[in-house]
């Protein structure tokens, strides 16, 4: 812990020397340790909400600038490729994407060790990540849901493909053997995926020292008379869209930028001051964690790109199997037909089901009701609520473990002081198959007979990712359960 604190202070001193500052004054000299943090922010530990992050050292007002990072302090392809050797080699491999090149640049600087100008920052980066591309076979299967397994497989395949494509460049640069491995590549790719911020001149983004210490805050639900934003986006042809905050998945109509920008963006590169500037997205009291919104993500997307999930994510959604006729009966996109984090069907899903449950020759006459969010009839609503409840129940019953079993397993993971205690707690659980599969994966089939068992580092990392998988699937199942409850409440209302 003492060494870690020394490394942190060394990093923050280095950052201050580069002009990184949380001071609200643009005239403050940038040469002392206190010039980096201490005026608005400090590094703190928040065990129940993201771990290490940035806390407020005073009351902060919403919209107030809290951190400036000069362009010269940003790690970008442009700044790293000032190295002539690197620049010449990269130019010979023009087929690589900008993200692949930035990954190679990061590994190149890591290989330079203490001679790299970024060394204090690089030594401060996490040693490992939990993004889906790092999931092994056991952790992948622990997700249980086909969609999540498919997304994980796709992420792993993408990482391996990009690594192979960039291998020739890394060999040209004479990387040391440890930096040529897939393990090194996926670490660097995870760093780029989870820590880069959007910059207007490079789609690969930038690594932002100190600025990447902000933990994530999900954008809240939109306060609107229109139930869901996707209703507007899915039913309208939108010619002009803007990418917000570097988020590859969040597109917002240009005409609505003013109403959404404060909700979705908390910082960006500002040409007039030639720096990345961060602003408080809310009013913070002294001691509060100051958070940054990266964009709108589901929990599966957070796992894929960042390696964590939120216990309560207002942007989470669950997709269920639908009849092919549901898709053909409506113009709504498949992506808009989902169940919200609270179990309520999306506006588009309800509309699609109401049309599907209406005889084809009558759909045109009820279309105005459906697209305004109104019920077609009591019989129509009863039918779709029964169908939706039955479908959610079937999905739940088809999964290997129940909500109760997952809850017990998570409690055992949280409350066990060591792995032996965990095995003792889980000995009587009905979901023993999964636990034995974990033991077999790490050649510990007889592990329960040992006292004081300690896990290898590899097994411990696997268990951390296993826990994430259980947390994700439990949230998924609870959404389905809540949807069943919603349907039953709606059905009860028709019986009164």
Residue 28 has pLDDT above 60, yes or no: no
Query: Does residue 226 fall inside a structural domain?
Result: no
pTM beyond 0.75: the answer is yes
Q: Are residues 276 and 162 in the same domain?
A: no
Residue 6 located in a structural domain: yes
Mean pLDDT of the chain: 85
3-state helix, strand, coil in the chain (%, to 5): 55, 10, 35
In angstroms, rounded to a whole number, what is the distance separating the alpha carbons of residues 228 and 201?
Answer: 33
Q: Considering the domain boundaries, does residue 260 fall inside one?
A: no
pLDDT in tens, 290-322: 998 888 899 999 999 999 999 999 999 999 999
pLDDT at 321: 93
Q: What is the mean pLDDT of residues 457-483?
A: 94
Half-sphere exposure of 16 (CA within 13 A, CB side): 20
The yes-or-no verdict on residue 52 having pLDDT over 90 is: no
CA neighbor of 337 nearest in space, from 329, 380, 369: 329
Round to whole Å and give the CA distance between 31 and 273.
Answer: 19
Tally of structural domains, the chain: 3
**Residue at a domain's end among 207, 231, 250:** 207
40 in the same domain as 17: yes
Mean per-residue pLDDT, 53-64:
93
Is residue 26 included in any domain, yes or no? Answer: yes
pLDDT for position 295 = 83
Q: Which domain holds residue 191?
A: 75-207
Closest CA to 24 of 42, 41, 40: 40
Check whether residue 24 and residue 152 sit in a common domain.
no
Choose between 227 and 406: higher pLDDT.
Answer: 406
List of E strands, 25-116: 41-46, 51-56, 65-70
CATH classification at residue 398 = 3.90.1420
33 neighbors 9 (Cβ within 8 angstroms): yes
pLDDT value at 205 more than 80: yes
Over residues 464-478, mean pLDDT? 96
> Residue 32 — very low, low, confident or very high, per pLDDT cuts 50/70/90?
very low
Residues 187, 281, single domain; the answer is no
- Assess whether 396 and 464 both reside in one domain: yes
In a domain, residue 417? The reply is yes
For residue 241, being part of any structural domain is answered with no
Share of the chain above pLDDT 70, in %: 86
**pLDDT of the residue at 25:** 67
What is the average pLDDT across 383-397? 96
Shared-domain flag, residues 112 and 127: yes
pLDDT for the residue 200 = 93
Which of 160, 185, 207 corresponds to the end of one domain?
Answer: 207
pLDDT of the residue at 456 = 79
* Confidence check: pLDDT of 243 > 80: no
Domain assignment present for residue 302? The answer is no
Residue ranges in 42-83 assigned as alpha helix (H) = 77-80
Same domain, 360 and 437: yes
pLDDT, one tens digit per residue, over 78-135 is 999 989 999 999 999 999 999 999 999 999 999 999 999 999 999 889 999 999 999 9
The per-residue pLDDT for 446 is 61
Say if residue 404's pLDDT is above 90: yes
Nearest to 67 by CA among 190, 188, 197, 193: 197
- Residues 332 and 430 occupy one common structural domain: yes
User: Is 79 found in the same domain as 45?
Assistant: no
Q: Look at residue 211 and tell me whether its pLDDT is greater than 80.
A: yes
Q: What is the pLDDT of residue 371?
A: 83
pLDDT category, 452, cuts 50, 70, 90?
very low
Rounded to an integer, what distance in angstroms lies between the CA atom of residue 88 and that of residue 353?
58
Note whether 452 and 345 are same-domain residues. yes
**CB contact at 8 A, 168 and 494:** no
Residue 259: inside a domain? no
pLDDT interval class at 467 (50, 70, 90): very high
User: What's residue 220's pLDDT?
Assistant: 65
With 70 as the cut, is the pLDDT of residue 240 above it? no
Alpha-carbon span 479 to 309, nearest angstrom: 15
Mean pLDDT within 281-290? 93
Is a pLDDT exceeding 90 seen at residue 419? Answer: no
Task: Indicate if 277 and 359 belong to the same structural domain.
Answer: no
DSSP 34: G
* 12-36 average pLDDT score: 72
| Cβ neighbours of 344 (radius 10 Å) | 17
3-state secondary structure 103-161: HHHHHHHHHHHHHCCCHHHHCCCCCCCCCHHHCCHHHHHHCCCHHHHHHHHHHHHHHHH
Q: Kindly tell me the burial class for residue 26, based on how many C-beta atoms sit within 10 Å of its own C-beta (0-12, 13-18, 19 or more).
A: exposed
Q: Say how many residues make up the chain.
A: 496
Position 445 confidence tier, pLDDT thresholds 50, 70, 90: low
Region 428-441 average pLDDT:
80
Task: Work out the average pLDDT over 213-227.
Answer: 63
Which of 220-224, 267-271, 286-290, 304-308 shows the lowest per-residue confidence on average (mean pLDDT)? 220-224
pLDDT of residue 251: 33
Among residues 274, 252, 275, the alpha carbon closest in space to that of 265 is found at: 252
60 and 86 housed in the same domain: no
Average pLDDT of the residues in 461-467: 93
Res 31 pLDDT > 50: no
122-135 confidence digits (pLDDT tens) = 988 999 999 999 99
Residues contacting 244, CB < 8 A, separation 6+:
250, 251, 252, 260, 261, 264, 265, 295
Instruction: Quote the CA–CA distance of 129 and 141 in Å, as a whole number.
Output: 19
For 258-392, strand residue ranges (E) read 267-270, 275-279, 289-292, 317-318, 339-340
């Amino acid at each position: 812990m003492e060494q870690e604190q020394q490394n942190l202070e060394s990093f923050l001193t280095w950052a201050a020397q580069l002009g990184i500052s949380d001071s609200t004054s643009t005239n403050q000299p940038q040469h002392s340790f206190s010039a980096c943090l201490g005026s608005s922010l400090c590094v703190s530990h928040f065990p129940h909400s993201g771990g290490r992050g940035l806390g407020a050292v005073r009351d902060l007002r919403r919209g107030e600038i809290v951190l400036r990072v000069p362009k010269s302090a940003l790690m970008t392809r442009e700044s790293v490729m000032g190295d002539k050797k690197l620049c010449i080699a990269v130019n010979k491999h023009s087929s690589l994407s900008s993200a692949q090149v930035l990954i190679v640049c990061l590994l190149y600087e890591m290989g330079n060790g203490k001679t790299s100008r970024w060394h204090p920052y690089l030594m401060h980066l996490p040693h490992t990540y939990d993004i889906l591309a790092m999931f092994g076979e056991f952790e992948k299967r622990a997700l249980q849901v086909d969609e999540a397994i498919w997304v994980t497989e796709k992420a792993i395949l993408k990482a391996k493909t990009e690594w192979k494509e960039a291998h020739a460049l890394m060999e040209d640069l004479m990387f040391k053997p440890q930096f040529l491995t897939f393990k090194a590549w996926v670490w660097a790719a995870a760093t780029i995926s989870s820590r880069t911020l959007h910059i207007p001149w490079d789609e690969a983004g930038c690594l932002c020292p100190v600025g990447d210490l902000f933990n994530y805050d999900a954008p809240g639900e939109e306060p609107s008379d229109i139930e869901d934003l996707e209703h507007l986006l899915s039913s309208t042809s939108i010619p002009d869209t803007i990418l917000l905050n570097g988020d590859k998945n969040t597109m917002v109509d240009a005409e609505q930028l003013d109403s959404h920008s404060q909700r979705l963006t908390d910082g960006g590169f500002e040409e007039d001051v030639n720096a990345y500037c961060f602003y408080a997205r809310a009013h913070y009291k002294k001691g509060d964690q100051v958070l940054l919104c990266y964009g709108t993500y589901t929990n599966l997307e957070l796992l894929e790109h960042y390696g964590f999930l939120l216990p309560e994510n207002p942007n989470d959604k669950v997709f269920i199997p639908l009849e092919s006729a549901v898709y053909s009966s409506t113009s709504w996109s498949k992506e808009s037909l989902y169940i919200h984090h609270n179990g309520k069907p999306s506006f588009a899903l309800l509309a699609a089901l109401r049309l599907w449950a209406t005889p084809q020759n009558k759909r045109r006459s009820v279309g105005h009701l459906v697209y305004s969010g109104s019920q077609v009839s009591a019989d129509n609503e009863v039918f779709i609520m029964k169908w939706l409840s039955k479908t959610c129940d079937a999905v739940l019953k088809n999964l290997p473990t129940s909500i109760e079993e997952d809850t017990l397993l998570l409690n055992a993971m949280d409350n066990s002081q060591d792995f032996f205690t965990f095995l003792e707690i889980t000995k009587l659980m009905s979901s023993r198959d999964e636990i034995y599969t974990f033991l077999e994966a790490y050649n510990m089939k007889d592990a329960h007979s040992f006292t004081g068992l300690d896990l290898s580092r590899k097994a411990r990392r696997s268990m951390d990712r296993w826990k994430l998988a259980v947390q994700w699937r439990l949230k998924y199942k609870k959404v389905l359960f809540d949807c069943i409850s919603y349907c039953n409440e709606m059905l009860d209302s028709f019986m009164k």
